[in-house]
Structure 1
Amino acid sequence: MIRPVFEPEVLPVEATGAGLPGVAAHRLTPAGLRERFAQRLVWAPEPFEVLSPERGDPRAAAVLVPLIVREAGLSVLLTQRADHLSDHAGQISFPGGRREPSDPDAVATALREAHEEVALAPERVEVLGALPDYLTGTGFCVTPVVGLVHSPFTVSADTLEVADIFEVPLSYLMNPANHEVRLWRWEGGERRFFAMPYPRPAAGGQYFIWGATAGMLRNFYRFLAA
Protein backbone atom coordinates (compact mmCIF):
# COMPACT_ATOMS: atom_id res chain seq x y z
CA MET A 1 0.00 0.00 0.00
CA ILE A 2 1.39 3.43 -0.96
CA ARG A 3 0.90 6.03 1.74
CA PRO A 4 0.23 9.65 0.87
CA VAL A 5 2.84 12.31 1.59
CA PHE A 6 2.17 14.10 4.89
CA GLU A 7 3.54 16.99 6.94
CA PRO A 8 4.28 15.68 10.45
CA GLU A 9 4.50 19.13 12.05
CA VAL A 10 0.87 19.99 11.34
CA LEU A 11 -0.63 16.71 12.54
CA PRO A 12 -2.63 16.74 15.79
CA VAL A 13 -1.10 15.90 19.17
CA GLU A 14 -3.01 12.94 20.56
CA ALA A 15 -1.21 12.75 23.89
CA THR A 16 1.95 13.67 25.79
CA GLY A 17 3.96 11.88 28.45
CA ALA A 18 3.20 14.48 31.11
CA GLY A 19 1.89 11.85 33.52
CA LEU A 20 4.90 9.54 33.25
CA PRO A 21 7.68 9.39 35.87
CA GLY A 22 10.74 11.54 35.32
CA VAL A 23 14.35 10.43 35.15
CA ALA A 24 16.39 10.84 38.33
CA ALA A 25 18.78 13.79 37.98
CA HIS A 26 21.89 11.73 38.78
CA ARG A 27 21.17 9.46 35.80
CA LEU A 28 21.61 12.45 33.49
CA THR A 29 25.26 12.81 34.48
CA PRO A 30 28.31 11.01 33.06
CA ALA A 31 28.70 8.98 36.26
CA GLY A 32 25.00 8.11 36.38
CA LEU A 33 25.00 7.00 32.76
CA ARG A 34 28.08 4.84 33.21
CA GLU A 35 26.39 3.21 36.19
CA ARG A 36 23.13 2.66 34.30
CA PHE A 37 24.78 1.05 31.28
CA ALA A 38 26.70 -1.27 33.60
CA GLN A 39 23.43 -2.56 35.07
CA ARG A 40 21.12 -5.21 33.64
CA LEU A 41 17.68 -3.96 34.60
CA VAL A 42 14.55 -5.26 32.88
CA TRP A 43 12.75 -2.64 30.80
CA ALA A 44 10.44 -2.55 27.79
CA PRO A 45 11.31 -0.53 24.69
CA GLU A 46 8.57 1.16 22.70
CA PRO A 47 7.14 -0.93 19.85
CA PHE A 48 8.30 0.22 16.42
CA GLU A 49 6.58 0.27 13.07
CA VAL A 50 6.33 -3.15 11.42
CA LEU A 51 8.34 -3.43 8.22
CA SER A 52 6.30 -4.09 5.08
CA PRO A 53 7.03 -7.61 3.72
CA GLU A 54 7.71 -6.22 0.24
CA ARG A 55 10.74 -4.31 1.55
CA GLY A 56 12.61 -7.53 2.26
CA ASP A 57 15.23 -7.93 4.96
CA PRO A 58 16.13 -4.71 6.78
CA ARG A 59 19.51 -3.12 6.07
CA ALA A 60 21.95 -2.92 8.99
CA ALA A 61 22.76 0.59 10.16
CA ALA A 62 23.98 2.39 13.27
CA VAL A 63 23.81 5.88 14.70
CA LEU A 64 25.82 7.63 17.37
CA VAL A 65 23.83 9.25 20.17
CA PRO A 66 26.49 11.84 21.08
CA LEU A 67 26.14 13.22 24.61
CA ILE A 68 28.24 16.38 24.86
CA VAL A 69 29.81 16.90 28.28
CA ARG A 70 29.18 20.57 29.18
CA GLU A 71 29.57 22.40 32.49
CA ALA A 72 25.85 23.18 32.44
CA GLY A 73 24.98 19.51 31.89
CA LEU A 74 24.86 16.97 29.10
CA SER A 75 23.44 17.89 25.71
CA VAL A 76 22.58 15.74 22.70
CA LEU A 77 24.20 16.58 19.37
CA LEU A 78 21.77 16.24 16.47
CA THR A 79 21.88 17.01 12.76
CA GLN A 80 19.40 18.13 10.18
CA ARG A 81 19.83 16.09 7.03
CA ALA A 82 20.28 17.75 3.65
CA ASP A 83 17.11 18.16 1.58
CA HIS A 84 18.42 16.26 -1.45
CA LEU A 85 19.14 12.94 0.30
CA SER A 86 17.14 9.89 -0.78
CA ASP A 87 16.54 8.64 2.79
CA HIS A 88 14.93 10.90 5.44
CA ALA A 89 15.73 14.15 3.61
CA GLY A 90 15.48 17.26 5.77
CA GLN A 91 14.76 15.31 8.95
CA ILE A 92 16.45 15.64 12.33
CA SER A 93 18.71 12.67 13.01
CA PHE A 94 21.72 11.36 14.84
CA PRO A 95 24.97 11.03 12.90
CA GLY A 96 24.91 7.59 11.36
CA GLY A 97 24.26 5.43 8.36
CA ARG A 98 24.51 2.02 6.79
CA ARG A 99 26.96 -0.54 8.03
CA GLU A 100 29.82 -1.12 5.60
CA PRO A 101 31.49 -4.53 5.08
CA SER A 102 34.69 -3.09 6.58
CA ASP A 103 32.93 -2.19 9.86
CA PRO A 104 33.56 -4.89 12.47
CA ASP A 105 30.49 -3.93 14.52
CA ALA A 106 27.82 -1.28 15.12
CA VAL A 107 30.14 0.83 17.25
CA ALA A 108 32.60 1.08 14.36
CA THR A 109 29.77 2.09 12.01
CA ALA A 110 28.48 4.78 14.38
CA LEU A 111 31.92 6.28 15.01
CA ARG A 112 32.88 6.19 11.33
CA GLU A 113 29.65 7.83 10.23
CA ALA A 114 29.91 10.53 12.92
CA HIS A 115 33.42 11.32 11.71
CA GLU A 116 32.30 11.45 8.08
CA GLU A 117 29.15 13.52 8.68
CA VAL A 118 30.23 15.99 11.38
CA ALA A 119 34.02 15.43 11.64
CA LEU A 120 33.75 14.21 15.23
CA ALA A 121 37.02 12.51 16.17
CA PRO A 122 36.36 8.94 17.42
CA GLU A 123 38.98 9.31 20.17
CA ARG A 124 36.85 12.05 21.81
CA VAL A 125 33.95 9.60 22.25
CA GLU A 126 33.61 7.40 25.33
CA VAL A 127 31.26 4.64 24.21
CA LEU A 128 28.86 3.66 27.01
CA GLY A 129 26.82 0.98 25.26
CA ALA A 130 23.92 0.54 22.88
CA LEU A 131 20.15 0.71 23.04
CA PRO A 132 17.98 -1.99 21.44
CA ASP A 133 17.96 -2.09 17.65
CA TYR A 134 15.27 0.10 16.10
CA LEU A 135 13.48 -1.07 12.96
CA THR A 136 12.38 1.80 10.73
CA GLY A 137 9.50 1.81 8.30
CA THR A 138 11.97 2.62 5.52
CA GLY A 139 13.78 -0.68 5.87
CA PHE A 140 16.69 -0.12 8.26
CA CYS A 141 17.61 -2.00 11.44
CA VAL A 142 19.40 0.74 13.39
CA THR A 143 21.65 0.21 16.41
CA PRO A 144 21.80 3.37 18.57
CA VAL A 145 25.30 3.60 20.11
CA VAL A 146 25.44 5.96 23.08
CA GLY A 147 28.65 7.81 23.87
CA LEU A 148 29.97 10.73 25.92
CA VAL A 149 31.83 13.36 23.90
CA HIS A 150 34.66 14.96 25.84
CA SER A 151 36.40 18.28 25.22
CA PRO A 152 38.36 19.39 23.37
CA PHE A 153 36.50 18.52 20.20
CA THR A 154 35.21 20.24 17.10
CA VAL A 155 32.45 19.45 14.63
CA SER A 156 32.00 20.49 11.03
CA ALA A 157 29.17 19.48 8.72
CA ASP A 158 29.68 17.47 5.55
CA THR A 159 27.41 19.73 3.50
CA LEU A 160 26.59 16.91 1.07
CA GLU A 161 24.73 15.15 3.89
CA VAL A 162 24.21 17.60 6.75
CA ALA A 163 22.43 20.97 6.60
CA ASP A 164 22.72 21.89 10.30
CA ILE A 165 24.31 20.74 13.57
CA PHE A 166 22.77 21.69 16.91
CA GLU A 167 22.47 20.58 20.53
CA VAL A 168 19.49 19.96 22.80
CA PRO A 169 19.80 19.55 26.60
CA LEU A 170 19.53 15.89 27.55
CA SER A 171 17.25 16.91 30.42
CA TYR A 172 14.75 18.33 27.90
CA LEU A 173 14.69 15.20 25.76
CA MET A 174 14.45 12.88 28.77
CA ASN A 175 11.49 14.81 30.23
CA PRO A 176 8.41 12.79 29.16
CA ALA A 177 6.28 15.94 29.29
CA ASN A 178 8.11 16.98 26.10
CA HIS A 179 7.19 13.72 24.32
CA GLU A 180 4.22 14.12 21.99
CA VAL A 181 2.27 11.34 20.33
CA ARG A 182 1.09 12.59 16.94
CA LEU A 183 -1.63 10.90 14.92
CA TRP A 184 -1.70 10.52 11.15
CA ARG A 185 -4.87 9.21 9.54
CA TRP A 186 -5.28 8.53 5.85
CA GLU A 187 -7.74 6.55 3.77
CA GLY A 188 -5.74 3.34 4.17
CA GLY A 189 -5.18 3.45 7.92
CA GLU A 190 -3.48 5.39 10.68
CA ARG A 191 -0.08 5.75 12.28
CA ARG A 192 1.10 7.16 15.60
CA PHE A 193 4.61 8.46 16.12
CA PHE A 194 6.63 10.36 18.71
CA ALA A 195 7.65 13.97 18.28
CA MET A 196 9.80 16.20 20.50
CA PRO A 197 9.73 19.77 19.13
CA TYR A 198 12.55 21.96 20.45
CA PRO A 199 12.56 25.77 20.10
CA ARG A 200 15.33 27.38 18.02
CA PRO A 201 16.83 29.82 20.55
CA ALA A 202 18.02 32.42 18.02
CA ALA A 203 16.39 31.84 14.64
CA GLY A 204 12.86 31.32 15.91
CA GLY A 205 10.59 28.42 15.05
CA GLN A 206 11.54 24.94 16.19
CA TYR A 207 13.55 21.85 15.46
CA PHE A 208 10.95 19.17 14.85
CA ILE A 209 12.41 15.91 16.16
CA TRP A 210 10.16 13.02 15.15
CA GLY A 211 10.02 9.55 13.64
CA ALA A 212 12.88 7.13 14.25
CA THR A 213 15.05 9.71 16.04
CA ALA A 214 12.27 10.53 18.50
CA GLY A 215 11.52 6.82 18.86
CA MET A 216 15.12 6.06 19.82
CA LEU A 217 15.13 8.97 22.27
CA ARG A 218 11.94 7.61 23.79
CA ASN A 219 13.66 4.25 24.25
CA PHE A 220 16.56 6.08 25.90
CA TYR A 221 14.04 7.60 28.32
CA ARG A 222 12.53 4.18 29.02
CA PHE A 223 16.01 2.80 29.64
CA LEU A 224 16.94 5.57 32.09
CA ALA A 225 13.57 5.62 33.87
CA ALA A 226 13.45 1.84 34.43
Structure 2
Amino acid sequence: MEFDLAIELLQKGLKKQLPGQNAQKTMSPLPVDPKRFDFKFSENPRKGAVLIFIYPEQGKAFFPLIKRPTYTGVHSGQIAFPGGKMEPEDESLSVTAMREAWEEVGILPEEVKLIGPISDLFVPASNFLVSPIIGYSEKKPLFVPELKEVDRIIETPLELLLHLETRKQRMLEVGGKIKLDAPYFDIENEIVWGATAMILGEFLQVLENGRG
Protein backbone atom coordinates (compact mmCIF):
# COMPACT_ATOMS: atom_id res chain seq x y z
CA MET A 1 0.00 0.00 0.00
CA GLU A 2 1.23 3.46 -0.87
CA PHE A 3 2.41 5.47 2.14
CA ASP A 4 0.35 8.58 1.35
CA LEU A 5 -2.80 6.52 0.86
CA ALA A 6 -2.29 4.65 4.14
CA ILE A 7 -1.97 7.89 6.10
CA GLU A 8 -5.03 9.36 4.40
CA LEU A 9 -7.15 6.27 5.13
CA LEU A 10 -6.04 6.11 8.76
CA GLN A 11 -6.81 9.80 9.31
CA LYS A 12 -10.28 9.35 7.80
CA GLY A 13 -10.89 6.09 9.65
CA LEU A 14 -10.08 7.59 13.04
CA LYS A 15 -12.72 10.27 12.53
CA LYS A 16 -15.36 7.53 12.67
CA GLN A 17 -16.46 5.40 15.60
CA LEU A 18 -13.74 2.97 16.61
CA PRO A 19 -14.43 -0.69 15.74
CA GLY A 20 -13.37 -1.66 19.29
CA GLN A 21 -13.97 -5.12 20.72
CA ASN A 22 -15.68 -6.52 17.63
CA ALA A 23 -12.53 -5.98 15.59
CA GLN A 24 -10.21 -7.07 18.40
CA LYS A 25 -12.12 -10.34 18.82
CA THR A 26 -11.53 -11.32 15.18
CA MET A 27 -7.93 -12.07 16.17
CA SER A 28 -8.53 -13.23 19.76
CA PRO A 29 -7.30 -16.66 20.85
CA LEU A 30 -10.02 -19.21 21.67
CA PRO A 31 -11.43 -19.75 24.14
CA VAL A 32 -11.75 -15.98 24.63
CA ASP A 33 -10.51 -14.84 28.04
CA PRO A 34 -13.50 -12.85 29.41
CA LYS A 35 -11.16 -10.75 31.54
CA ARG A 36 -9.92 -9.04 28.37
CA PHE A 37 -13.31 -7.46 27.76
CA ASP A 38 -14.90 -7.39 31.20
CA PHE A 39 -12.11 -6.39 33.53
CA LYS A 40 -12.70 -4.08 36.50
CA PHE A 41 -10.67 -0.92 37.03
CA SER A 42 -10.79 -1.77 40.73
CA GLU A 43 -8.27 -4.49 39.86
CA ASN A 44 -5.85 -1.60 39.28
CA PRO A 45 -4.36 -2.58 35.91
CA ARG A 46 -1.02 -1.09 34.97
CA LYS A 47 -1.25 1.49 32.20
CA GLY A 48 0.89 1.14 29.11
CA ALA A 49 1.04 2.21 25.48
CA VAL A 50 2.41 0.98 22.18
CA LEU A 51 3.23 2.89 19.01
CA ILE A 52 1.94 1.77 15.62
CA PHE A 53 4.45 3.77 13.59
CA ILE A 54 3.93 4.13 9.84
CA TYR A 55 6.89 5.20 7.68
CA PRO A 56 7.74 5.15 3.96
CA GLU A 57 10.04 2.69 2.22
CA GLN A 58 10.29 3.32 -1.54
CA GLY A 59 6.86 4.98 -1.39
CA LYS A 60 5.19 2.06 0.40
CA ALA A 61 3.83 2.08 3.96
CA PHE A 62 5.79 0.06 6.53
CA PHE A 63 5.67 -0.30 10.32
CA PRO A 64 8.07 -1.90 12.81
CA LEU A 65 7.36 -4.86 15.02
CA ILE A 66 9.85 -6.16 17.56
CA LYS A 67 10.70 -9.62 18.80
CA ARG A 68 11.20 -9.78 22.53
CA PRO A 69 14.28 -11.66 23.80
CA THR A 70 13.92 -14.99 25.55
CA TYR A 71 13.56 -14.40 29.28
CA THR A 72 11.64 -15.64 32.30
CA GLY A 73 8.30 -13.94 31.78
CA VAL A 74 4.90 -14.19 30.13
CA HIS A 75 5.90 -12.35 26.93
CA SER A 76 9.23 -14.09 26.31
CA GLY A 77 10.11 -14.29 22.63
CA GLN A 78 6.83 -12.80 21.47
CA ILE A 79 6.26 -10.30 18.67
CA ALA A 80 5.05 -6.88 19.78
CA PHE A 81 4.86 -3.21 18.94
CA PRO A 82 7.43 -0.90 20.52
CA GLY A 83 5.93 0.13 23.83
CA GLY A 84 5.81 -0.30 27.58
CA LYS A 85 4.46 0.96 30.85
CA MET A 86 3.49 4.54 31.62
CA GLU A 87 5.98 6.29 33.90
CA PRO A 88 5.02 8.99 36.43
CA GLU A 89 6.77 11.67 34.37
CA ASP A 90 4.82 10.84 31.20
CA GLU A 91 2.25 13.56 30.52
CA SER A 92 0.06 11.24 28.46
CA LEU A 93 -0.10 7.76 27.00
CA SER A 94 0.99 9.22 23.66
CA VAL A 95 4.16 10.40 25.39
CA THR A 96 4.60 6.90 26.83
CA ALA A 97 4.29 5.31 23.39
CA MET A 98 6.80 7.69 21.80
CA ARG A 99 9.27 7.47 24.70
CA GLU A 100 9.22 3.68 24.63
CA ALA A 101 9.60 3.61 20.84
CA TRP A 102 12.63 5.87 21.15
CA GLU A 103 14.16 3.73 23.91
CA GLU A 104 13.49 0.39 22.20
CA VAL A 105 14.07 1.05 18.50
CA GLY A 106 15.45 4.59 18.20
CA ILE A 107 12.43 6.43 16.78
CA LEU A 108 12.91 10.10 17.71
CA PRO A 109 9.76 11.51 19.37
CA GLU A 110 10.12 14.83 17.58
CA GLU A 111 9.85 13.02 14.24
CA VAL A 112 6.55 11.34 15.10
CA LYS A 113 3.33 12.93 13.86
CA LEU A 114 0.43 11.57 15.87
CA ILE A 115 -2.78 10.46 14.16
CA GLY A 116 -4.52 9.20 17.28
CA PRO A 117 -5.34 6.26 19.55
CA ILE A 118 -7.42 3.19 18.87
CA SER A 119 -9.22 1.12 21.52
CA ASP A 120 -7.49 0.07 24.73
CA LEU A 121 -6.89 -3.64 25.24
CA PHE A 122 -6.49 -5.41 28.58
CA VAL A 123 -3.74 -8.05 28.79
CA PRO A 124 -4.63 -10.34 31.70
CA ALA A 125 -1.31 -12.22 31.69
CA SER A 126 0.63 -9.09 32.69
CA ASN A 127 -2.24 -6.96 34.08
CA PHE A 128 -1.65 -4.21 31.54
CA LEU A 129 -4.25 -1.92 30.01
CA VAL A 130 -2.57 -1.12 26.70
CA SER A 131 -3.35 1.99 24.65
CA PRO A 132 -2.29 1.67 20.99
CA ILE A 133 -1.27 5.01 19.45
CA ILE A 134 -0.97 5.50 15.69
CA GLY A 135 1.70 7.85 14.42
CA TYR A 136 3.83 8.36 11.34
CA SER A 137 6.86 10.03 9.84
CA GLU A 138 7.44 11.11 6.26
CA LYS A 139 10.93 9.66 6.37
CA LYS A 140 12.27 6.33 7.52
CA PRO A 141 14.00 6.49 10.90
CA LEU A 142 17.41 5.03 11.64
CA PHE A 143 16.35 2.05 13.71
CA VAL A 144 18.58 1.18 16.67
CA PRO A 145 17.42 -1.82 18.74
CA GLU A 146 17.83 -1.75 22.52
CA LEU A 147 19.50 -5.13 22.87
CA LYS A 148 18.18 -5.92 26.35
CA GLU A 149 14.58 -5.50 25.21
CA VAL A 150 14.66 -6.19 21.48
CA ASP A 151 15.96 -9.36 19.85
CA ARG A 152 15.18 -8.09 16.35
CA ILE A 153 13.21 -5.41 14.51
CA ILE A 154 10.79 -6.66 11.86
CA GLU A 155 10.21 -3.99 9.22
CA THR A 156 6.73 -4.95 8.03
CA PRO A 157 5.03 -3.79 4.82
CA LEU A 158 1.46 -2.76 5.59
CA GLU A 159 0.37 -4.40 2.34
CA LEU A 160 1.33 -7.80 3.78
CA LEU A 161 -1.47 -7.62 6.35
CA LEU A 162 -4.03 -7.21 3.58
CA HIS A 163 -3.18 -10.59 2.02
CA LEU A 164 -5.54 -13.35 3.14
CA GLU A 165 -2.72 -15.90 3.19
CA THR A 166 -0.98 -13.88 5.91
CA ARG A 167 -3.80 -14.72 8.34
CA LYS A 168 -3.58 -18.22 9.75
CA GLN A 169 -4.75 -20.21 12.76
CA ARG A 170 -3.19 -22.95 14.88
CA MET A 171 -3.12 -24.49 18.35
CA LEU A 172 -0.56 -22.86 20.61
CA GLU A 173 0.70 -24.12 23.95
CA VAL A 174 1.23 -21.27 26.40
CA GLY A 175 3.23 -21.66 29.58
CA GLY A 176 3.65 -25.35 28.94
CA LYS A 177 0.08 -26.18 29.92
CA ILE A 178 -2.58 -23.91 28.36
CA LYS A 179 -3.64 -24.69 24.81
CA LEU A 180 -5.27 -21.98 22.71
CA ASP A 181 -6.73 -22.01 19.23
CA ALA A 182 -5.06 -18.82 18.04
CA PRO A 183 -5.55 -16.77 14.89
CA TYR A 184 -2.30 -15.06 13.93
CA PHE A 185 -0.44 -13.14 11.26
CA ASP A 186 2.45 -15.01 9.65
CA ILE A 187 5.11 -12.31 9.26
CA GLU A 188 8.65 -13.33 8.31
CA ASN A 189 7.89 -16.82 9.66
CA GLU A 190 7.03 -15.34 13.05
CA ILE A 191 3.69 -16.00 14.75
CA VAL A 192 2.14 -12.63 15.54
CA TRP A 193 -0.70 -13.50 17.89
CA GLY A 194 -2.41 -12.46 21.13
CA ALA A 195 -2.63 -8.79 22.03
CA THR A 196 -0.50 -7.68 19.09
CA ALA A 197 -2.72 -9.50 16.58
CA MET A 198 -5.86 -8.17 18.28
CA ILE A 199 -4.57 -4.60 18.04
CA LEU A 200 -3.73 -5.19 14.38
CA GLY A 201 -7.26 -6.51 13.86
CA GLU A 202 -8.73 -3.18 14.91
CA PHE A 203 -6.02 -1.19 13.13
CA LEU A 204 -6.90 -2.88 9.84
CA GLN A 205 -10.60 -2.20 10.37
CA VAL A 206 -9.84 1.50 10.98
CA LEU A 207 -7.86 1.49 7.74
CA GLU A 208 -10.80 -0.10 5.92
CA ASN A 209 -13.27 2.36 7.48
CA GLY A 210 -11.22 5.17 5.94
CA ARG A 211 -12.33 3.99 2.50
CA GLY A 212 -16.00 4.57 3.25
What TM-score, normalized by structure 2, do the two folds share? 0.79
Q: Which residue of 1 aligns with 2:192?
A: 209
2:155 counterpart (161, 167, 190): 167
CA distance in 1, matches of 2:95, 2:184: 28
Q: Which residue of 1 aligns with 2:100?
A: 113
2:55 counterpart (48, 68, 71): 68
Inter-CA distance 115–189: structure 2 relative to 1 (3 Å threshold): closer
Question: Larger C-alpha radius of gyration, 1 or 2?
Answer: 1
Q: Which residue of 2 aligns with 1:35?
A: 12
1:29 is matched by which residue type in structure 2?
A: A
> For residues 72-91 of structure 1, what are the structure 2 equivalents within 5 Å?
72-84=59-71, 86-91=73-78
- Give me the CA root mean square deviation: 2.9
Unaligned runs of 5+ in 2: none
Q: Which residue of 2 aligns with 1:181?
A: 169
Alpha-carbon distance, 1:87 to partner: 4.3
2:23 corresponds to 1:45:
yes
Other structure's SS at 1:165 match: strand
CA distance in 1, matches of 2:3, 2:151: 33
Other structure's SS at 1:51 match: helix
Residues 48-87 of structure 1 show CA distances to partners (whole Å, capped at 9, x for unaligned) of 633398xx43211100011122234101211111112634
2:133 corresponds to 1:145:
yes
What TM-score, normalized by structure 1, do the two folds share? 0.74
Inter-CA distance 223–176: structure 2 relative to 1 (3 Å threshold): farther
Q: Which residue of 1 aligns with 2:145?
A: 157
2:119 is matched by which residue type in structure 1?
A: P
Decide whether the 8 Å contact of 1:27 with 1:224 is kept in 2: no
Residues 76-106 of structure 1 show CA distances to partners (whole Å, capped at 9, x for unaligned) of 2111111126341111110000111111211
CA distance in 2, matches of 1:177, 1:25: 20
Other structure's SS at 1:171 match: helix
Decide whether the 8 Å contact of 2:10 with 2:206 is kept in 1: no
1:211 is matched by which residue type in structure 2?
A: G
CA distance in 2, matches of 1:92, 1:185: 16
Unaligned runs of 5+ in 1: 1-23, 200-205
CA distance in 1, matches of 2:70, 2:183: 22
Identity %: 27
Other structure's SS at 1:102 match: coil
CA distance in 1, matches of 2:150, 2:121: 22
Q: How many residues align?
A: 194
